[in-house]
């Protein structure tokens, strides 16, 4: 079974869920972020033996890690609405415990997780713009100028992890999926550098936006939760190839 973890507002993830199901390679289950934030029961064992986890979600369905063959992780955080009536100091403590569990659960899954959770972001690394710029340049990609100015918040927008940067006609969006770059609108000589950037960042799935100027192609934006529809069917196939085809579990 493959899992797609997302919020109800994530149209891109919902599109991917339907496309993965259409492949008919294995059952695919959609897990809402709020449901994962408020499980009815949790059994999570971590020790010398292989970790094991079994969750009972809010809808009563069970989720056994042993039956999961791949995870598309689009989590933006946790939404524990059931803590709203708790005292503020208790809310902070409980949220920290829930975050620690979610992080441990994602790391303990015996399958590829795209993208892996980090202590700074359940859905992938929440790196500052300066780090993306440095990593991109080290990987051989030219970036647009980046500066930090306390009096001008807009100066530090590049890259924009949420993918909300201003766009221009002619901008080219691509997805790095494993060792592939889709679709093929970007010159192939840039593909290797794009893959290096994704590997350097520790994310198997990365969205990149390029803009062409007088000096050639320039990296304009980076998204750790990109619009998956950019890659089309080629992106879906590349993502599915990162996961083993399993028959266990229920959709």
Confidence of residue 9 (pLDDT cuts 50, 70, 90): very high
In the Cβ-directed half-sphere of 97, how many Cα atoms lie within 13 Å?
Answer: 9
The CA-atom distances, in angstroms, between 234 and each of 22, 165, 195 are 14, 25, 16
Residue 193: is its pLDDT beyond 90? yes
- This prediction's pTM: 0.86
Would the CATH topology of 2-122 be identical to that of 129-224?
Answer: no
**pLDDT computed for residue 163 by the predictor:** 44
Residue 249: is its pLDDT beyond 60? no
Q: Which residues are CB-contacts of 159 (< 8 A; sequence separation ≥ 6)?
A: 129, 132, 133, 136, 165, 219, 220, 221, 222, 223
Tens digits of residue pLDDT in 55-99: 998 888 899 999 999 999 999 888 777 777 888 888 888 888 888
CB atoms within 10 A of CB 1: 20
Residue 28: helix, strand or coil by DSSP?
Answer: strand
- Alpha carbon 9 to its chain's center: 15
Tens digits of residue pLDDT in 210-222: 999 888 999 999 9
Q: Return the percentage of the chain with pLDDT > 70, whole number.
A: 90
Select, from the ranges 92-96, 101-105, 191-195, 216-220, the one with the highest average predicted confidence (pLDDT): 191-195
**pLDDT computed for residue 49 by the predictor:** 80
Confidence of residue 182 (pLDDT cuts 50, 70, 90): very high
The CA-atom distances, in angstroms, between 173 and each of 2, 18, 36, 169 are 26, 22, 31, 11
Q: What is the mean pLDDT of residues 214-233?
A: 93
CATH assignment of 129-224? 3.30.470
* Every domain of the chain and the residues it spans: 2-122, 129-224
Tens digits of residue pLDDT in 127-181: 888 889 999 999 999 998 777 766 655 555 555 444 445 667 789 999 999 999 9
Residue 198: is its pLDDT beyond 90? yes
Average pLDDT across the chain, whole number? 86
Residue 251: is its pLDDT beyond 60? no
CATH assignment of 2-122? 3.40.50
Q: What is the mean pLDDT of residues 39-58?
A: 86
**pLDDT computed for residue 161 by the predictor:** 41
Tens digits of residue pLDDT in 26-35: 999 999 988 8
Q: Which residue has the higher pLDDT, 86 or 5?
A: 5
**pLDDT computed for residue 164 by the predictor:** 42
């Amino acid at each position: 079974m493959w899992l797609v973890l997302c919020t109800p507002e994530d149209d891109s993830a919902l599109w991917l869920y339907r496309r993965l199901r259409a492949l008919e390679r294995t059952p695919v289950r959609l897990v809402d972020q709020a449901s994962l934030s408020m499980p009815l029961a949790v059994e999570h064992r971590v020790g010398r033996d292989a970790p094991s986890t079994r969750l009972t979600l809010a809808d009563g369905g069970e989720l056994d890690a042993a039956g999961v063959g791949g995870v598309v992780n689009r989590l933006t955080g946790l939404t524990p609405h059931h803590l709203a009536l708790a005292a503020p100091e208790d809310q902070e403590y409980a949220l920290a415990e829930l975050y620690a569990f979610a992080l441990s659960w994602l790391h303990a899954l015996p399958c590829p997780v795209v993208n892996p959770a980090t202590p700074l972001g359940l859905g992938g690394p929440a790196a500052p713009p300066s780090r993306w710029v440095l990593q991109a340049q080290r990987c051989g990609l030219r970036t647009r100028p980046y500066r930090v100015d306390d009096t001008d918040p807009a100066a530090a927008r590049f890259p924009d992890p949420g993918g909300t940067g201003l766009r221009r006609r002619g901008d080219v969006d691509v997805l790095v999926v494993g060792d592939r770059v889709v679709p093929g609108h970007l010159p192939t000589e840039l593909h290797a550098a794009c893959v290096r950037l994704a590997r350097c960042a520790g994310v198997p799935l990365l969205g990149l936006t390029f803009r062409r100027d007088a000096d050639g192609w320039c990296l304009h934006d980076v998204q750790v939760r990109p619009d998956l529809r950019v890659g089309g069917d080629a992106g879906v196939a590349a993502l599915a190839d990162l996961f083993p085809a399993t028959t266990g579990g229920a959709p």
